[in-house]
Amino acid sequence: MARALRVHAPGIAVHVMSRGNNRQPIFLDSLDYGKYLELLPIMLARFKICCHAFCLLFNHLHLLITPRELPVSRMMQQLNSTYCSWFNERHGRVGHVLQDRYKAKLVDDAGYFLNAVRYIALNPPVAKQVERPEDWPWSSYRAGIGLAPPIPFIDDFALAIALDAIDDRERHEKLKLFVEAGASAEDGWRELLSGSAELGRRVEGLIVPHRDEPEFTYAHRFATRPPLRAIVAGAKSDGLHRVVHEAFAVHGYTLREIAALVDRHPGTVWTWVQRAAREGT
């Protein structure tokens, strides 16, 4: 079988997932989780890659990272091979720990970036490990909403921009509301990209040489969501806050995008989103 496509696109976020071989556990206890989180910042620094979010589960893991000059593939090869060698030695095992190579999906900025963060945060409750995402200790989400100390190797800058957050308190509050509005973390790993047509144009030159590869379905490049104007169209003034909440919390449009369309300040839009959330929209 042909290998899945890998595209190195400096400055564009990548949602990475690795699974255990035959869906078997890759983390058996806290020492295993701790070892991976010990190796991760070392490899991030070595390959000059930013990490925005992570979640480690018993049989798979998620990373949201942004490369610069060096490709994600080089980091993941060293990170996973180092961890797997340690894991086998510690547990007296032989053979493959991880299933094939990692999966990766390019992620656009703004709303698509937010949806990737939410997907990662929601994995533990979707896997029925905990009731709430903040209850899972091996995820960046607890720190992301201020329930744990900041994680030194997590870069919150892109998330703060996507949330139009002016400080840590506001970033925590907005992230919590956005994640809690998510219904599920459905597995959508057929797409290479999750983003807008603009993202497609930015990486078109990288993709064209690989169009004939059997593992790459070019038609599955983009996630879909209704246009912002279509969501807001026809909303009456007394119901605008509910429509705005849907645009932000469900579809991942940024407060700044919504504010520009409805001709309001982003702070006003955020107040509307909070109001709708309190009303149970």
Residue 173 has a CB neighbour count (10 Å cut-off) of 16
First to last CA, the chain: 46
pLDDT given for residue 51 in this prediction:
97
Taking the domains of the chain in order of start, what are their residue ranges? 13-220, 228-278
Residues in the chain: 281
Nearest to 140 by CA among 175, 111, 167: 175
183: enclosing H helix or E strand: none
pLDDT tens-digit readout, 150-169:
999 999 999 999 999 999 99
CATH topology of domain 13-220: Alpha-Beta Plaits (3.30.70)
* Residue 67 tokens, joined: 């490369």
pLDDT tens-digit readout, 103-142:
888 887 666 788 889 989 999 998 899 999 999 999 999 9
pLDDT tens-digit readout, 46-61:
999 999 999 999 999 9
